[in-house]
Amino acid sequence: MPSSKMGLFALLCLLVSGAGAAKVTLSPDNWGNPAGEECVSCHSKSSAGLTEQWRHSAHAKVGVNCLDCHQASTDDADAITHEGQTIATIVSPKDCGRCHAVEEQQQRGSVHAEAVAVIARRMPAMVTNLAGPAVEAAGCAQCHGSTVRVQANGELDPDTWPNSGIGRINPDRSRGSCSSCHGRHAFSKAQARKPEACVRCHSGPDSPDKEVFEASKHGMAFASHHDQMNLDAESWVAGKDYFAAPTCATCHMGAAGKLPATHDVGMRNVWNLNTPVSERQHLVVFADGGKREFPESMDAPKRGSKVPRLDGAEGDVKMVATPDRRRQAMSLVCRECHGKDFVEAFMRQFDGVVDLYNRKFGEPARAIMQALYSTGRLTPTPFDEPIEFAFWELWHDEGARARHGAAMMSPNHVWWEGMYVVARNFYGRFLPEVRAVAGDGADALIAKHVQDLPENEWLKHPERGSPLLGVGTARSAHE
């Protein structure tokens, strides 16, 4: 077998690990706790809607009741005594994992589980400086998750709960909340297969996946053929159980051909698209299933070596998925509905937009900002100077929109909502701000990082004129 095939094979094996086992880890004699009947009967009155949601769920059908999920042991940090039983309000991924070990393990190693860690360092700059703790609780935490605190009386601290943030740190230290995609108390898989499960968080200026998807041909096909998506099916393999359109879950989580489904949403992604400059990423998988990305510019760590994990502790490298392998995995999904050359050509167009953004805008803007900080032209405090907003929005808002647009087939977001706004910001706002703060040094800085790029050759040719006043008009005005 050629080595490229071997790599993919290993990746598929890794992804599929555990899938041969039974779908649910426990056997039925471990649930259906008779004491749970009382919960149902009283809650049918005290919270009838909630109880009806459960009654219509797959769990109720097989006899998994309130107590099977909400049971707790007295040494759990958030255990309370409730009507004679020890329960916890939060049913964490670890609790679900008693019965759904495969999904829990995949979710645990995913970027979603890092969503609180990823913002911890940015919190002060973003929330404390620009807003305040109330916004953290009602804003950031609703998507990213909070660190849930338990009060002395066992109740959950209202500054940190409720939310079903995707990386929430729970009282049992597990991370995430399965109800962020499987809304309670239905916990339906059909719901999670729809874009609606994702777009509550993945929408807006910096992660405009809702808007991008809706503006793509995939969104068009999904909207037109909703009824052919077979969303309630037991098995949901692209190309076999449905074919009309892909959803978010299809490309990032779903099974396709030999590629198994996964609860690790980042597995198939090559780039980090939400950074000032994008770089292709290796995915390192540790012996215990944990993961971490390393940029391709660093040598890929060797199997069996030790490298630092996100939290700083050493991890044993079990395998490395290179950017090319990750791209192969994503392309397998596409190829259920498209040809090989089509998919490769598409990926080339996508990578081309990311490269162009990097070279023409991301790298120059970052280099100029670094120079301004290191020469003391800017204070180290974030967001106290106008140029910091211009730079931030350049990569975080319009820059992200252009790159997400190219990744997910929305021409509108590549150009009008994306790169056009990037250029408007860069030439019309960022560079004038550089001139305002850099004083005498501005010309040299701009010449070095901007004017000398081949992409900016056009700046040197005022004689070419412009059609800004309308087609033909500018030319005749110059003539």
- Show contacts with ligand HEC in window 110-139 (CB under 6 A): 111-112, 114-115, 118-119, 122-123, 126-127, 139
- Give the separation between CA 398 and CA 429, rounded to whole angstroms: 13
Give SS3 for 366.
helix
Q: What are phi and psi of 339, to 5 degrees?
A: -80, 160
- Give the separation between CA 373 and CA 445, rounded to whole angstroms: 13
- Per the CB < 8 A criterion, the answer to whether 422 and 399 are in contact is yes
Instruction: Tell me how far, at minimum, the Cβ of 49 lies from ligand HEC, in Å.
Output: 10
- Give the separation between CA 250 and CA 247, rounded to whole angstroms: 5
Q: Which of 179, 230, 322, 412 binds ligand HEC (CB under 6 A)?
A: 179
Instruction: Tell me how far, at minimum, the Cβ of 303 lies from ligand HEC, in Å.
Output: 22
182 binds ligand HEC (CB under 6 A): yes
- Give the separation between CA 198 and CA 183, rounded to whole angstroms: 11
Q: Which of 7, 8, 150, 180 binds ligand HEC (CB under 6 A)?
A: 180
With contacts defined by CB under 6 A, name the span among 313-321, 374-382, 403-411, 458-466 that binds ligand HEC.
403-411
**Closer residue to ligand HEC (CB): 98 or 309:** 98
**Closer residue to ligand HEC (CB): 11 or 119:** 119
**Closer residue to ligand HEC (CB): 246 or 431:** 246
**Closer residue to ligand HEC (CB): 17 or 85:** 85
How many chain residues are in contact with ligand HEC, going by CB under 6 A? Answer: 124
Instruction: Tell me how far, at minimum, the Cβ of 446 lies from ligand HEC, in Å.
Output: 26
Strand 291-295, strand 237-238: pairing = unpaired
Is 351 exposed, middle or buried, given 0-12, 13-18 or 19+ CB atoms closer than 10 A? middle
Return the amino acid letter for 50.
Answer: L
Instruction: Tell me how far, at minimum, the Cβ of 296 lies from ligand HEC, in Å.
Output: 12
Instruction: Report CA-CA distances (Å) from 381 to 28, 243, 366, 390.
Output: 57, 51, 16, 15
- Give the separation between CA 190 and CA 180, rounded to whole angstroms: 14
204 binds ligand HEC (CB under 6 A): yes
**Closer residue to ligand HEC (CB): 73 or 476:** 73
87 binds ligand HEC (CB under 6 A): yes
213 binds ligand HEC (CB under 6 A): yes
- Our measurement of the distance from residue 201's CA atom to the centroid of its chain's CA atoms, rounded to an integer in Å, reads 9
- Give the separation between CA 402 and CA 420, rounded to whole angstroms: 9
396 binds ligand HEC (CB under 6 A): yes
284 binds ligand HEC (CB under 6 A): no
With contacts defined by CB under 6 A, name the span among 200-208, 439-447, 452-460, 467-475 that binds ligand HEC.
200-208
With contacts defined by CB under 6 A, name the span among 205-213, 305-313, 372-380, 443-451 that binds ligand HEC.
205-213
107 binds ligand HEC (CB under 6 A): yes
- 């230290």: which residue's tokens? 173
Interacting residues with ligand HEC between 340 and 359 (CB under 6 A) = 343, 346
**Closer residue to ligand HEC (CB): 196 or 456:** 196
With contacts defined by CB under 6 A, name the span among 82-90, 378-386, 431-439, 449-457 that binds ligand HEC.
82-90
DSSP string, 159-224: TT-S---TT-B-TTS-B--GGGTS-TTT--HHHHHSTHHHHTTS-SSSS-HHHHHHTSHHHHHHHH
CA 142-145-151 angle, 5° bins: 105
Interacting residues with ligand HEC between 223 and 242 (CB under 6 A) = 236, 238
- Give the separation between CA 347 and CA 406, rounded to whole angstroms: 9
Q: Which of 8, 11, 39, 285 binds ligand HEC (CB under 6 A)?
A: 39
429 binds ligand HEC (CB under 6 A): no
**Closer residue to ligand HEC (CB): 249 or 321:** 249
Q: Is the peptide bond before 185 cis (omega within 30 degrees of 0)?
A: yes
- Give the separation between CA 385 and CA 220, rounded to whole angstroms: 42
Q: Residue 372's closest CA among 360, 385, 359?
A: 385
- Give the separation between CA 195 and CA 248, rounded to whole angstroms: 6
Interacting residues with ligand HEC between 240 and 279 (CB under 6 A) = 243, 245-255, 261, 263, 265-266, 269-274
Instruction: Tell me how far, at minimum, the Cβ of 437 lies from ligand HEC, in Å.
Output: 23
178 binds ligand HEC (CB under 6 A): yes
421 binds ligand HEC (CB under 6 A): no
**Closer residue to ligand HEC (CB): 91 or 317:** 91
Q: Which of 72, 284, 337, 438 binds ligand HEC (CB under 6 A)?
A: 337
